[in-house]
Amino acid sequence: MKIGIFGGTFNPIHYGHLRAAEEVRGKLNFDKILFIPSGSPPLKKEEIADAIHRYKMTRLAIFTNRLFELSDIECNPPGKSFTVNTVSKLKKADPEVEFSFILGIDAFLDIINWRQPEKLTALTDFVVISRPDFKFIDLKASPYIKINIRILKELDNAKIETYSIKLNSNRNITFLRLTPIDISSTEIRWLIKQDKSIKYLLPAEVESYIISNKLY
C-alpha cells in the first residue's frame, strides 16, 4: 500500500491543492492521498482560521473522492504540531505502508526551518511538485539533495515530466511537473477581504462554509 501524505495549512483548501493531489495520485500510483490540515499555532497568528474550520473545509472539499482521506492527527489535540512527529506516528501506526510526503517546491525549500529537518528527510520518501512562480532550479540550494542542474532545468522546461533521485538521507525524492494552477490561499483570503468573488477557485461547498462562518 502506497500512501501520499499531503500536509498543509489549507487556509482555505483550493483547486490548486485538489488538482495537485489528484495528479500525483494518478501519475505516481498512490493507493490514496491523506490530507493533513495543520494544527493551530499556540500564539494565534492573524489570518489563520481555527484548525477545526480548516479541517471541516478540507472534508467538504474531498468527500466526493474515495481515494482522498482526511486525518485529524494535527488538529486533535489542538495546538501546534510538527511534521516530523506526524510522520513518525503515521509510520508507527501502519508499518506496512510506504509513505511519501508530498509538497510544493516552495514548501520543500522551507523544510530547513521546520522542526528536525534532517530527521524528517530520513523518515520518509518525498514528492516535490511544481507550482507557478517557483522553479525546480531553485532546489539547487537545498542542503538535502545533490542533483544535476541540467535535470532541474529539464524539469522546468518541460523536457521531462518526472525524475527520481536519492536524498542525502538515502530516501527517495521524486520531482513531478503538474498542470500549473495559479491559485493560492493568500490570494483567496485577499479577494475575500476586498469583497471580491472567490467562485471557481475552490469547491462551492468550501465557499459556502467560508461565507456562513464569516471566515477571513
Which residues are at the interface with ligand ATP (CB under 6 A)? 8-11, 16-17, 20, 103-104, 106-107, 129, 131, 181, 183-186
Q: How far is the CB of 146 from ligand ATP (least distance, A)?
A: 22
Compare residues 147 and 189 and give the one whose CB is closer to ligand ATP.
Answer: 189
For residue 78, cis peptide bond before it (omega within 30 degrees of 0): no
Compare residues 4 and 16 and give the one whose CB is closer to ligand ATP.
Answer: 16
Compare residues 130 and 169 and give the one whose CB is closer to ligand ATP.
Answer: 130
- Nearest residue by C-beta to ligand ATP? 104
Compare residues 96 and 210 and give the one whose CB is closer to ligand ATP.
Answer: 210
Compare residues 20 and 147 and give the one whose CB is closer to ligand ATP.
Answer: 20
Q: How far is the CB of 57 from ligand ATP (least distance, A)?
A: 11
H, E, C per residue of the chain: CEEEEEEECCCCCCHHHHHHHHHHHHHHCCCEEEEEECCCCCCCCCCCCCHHHHHHHHHHHHCCCCCEEECCCCCCCCCCCCHHHHHHHHHHHCCCCEEEEEEEHHHHHHHHHCCCHHHHHHHCEEEEECECCECHHHHHHCCCCCCCHHHHHHHHCCCCCEEEEECCCCCEEEEECCCCCCCCHHHHHHHHHCCCCCECCECHHHHHHHHHCCCC
Q: How far is the CB of 170 from ligand ATP (least distance, A)?
A: 23
Q: How far is the CB of 95 from ligand ATP (least distance, A)?
A: 25
Q: How far is the CB of 119 from ligand ATP (least distance, A)?
A: 19
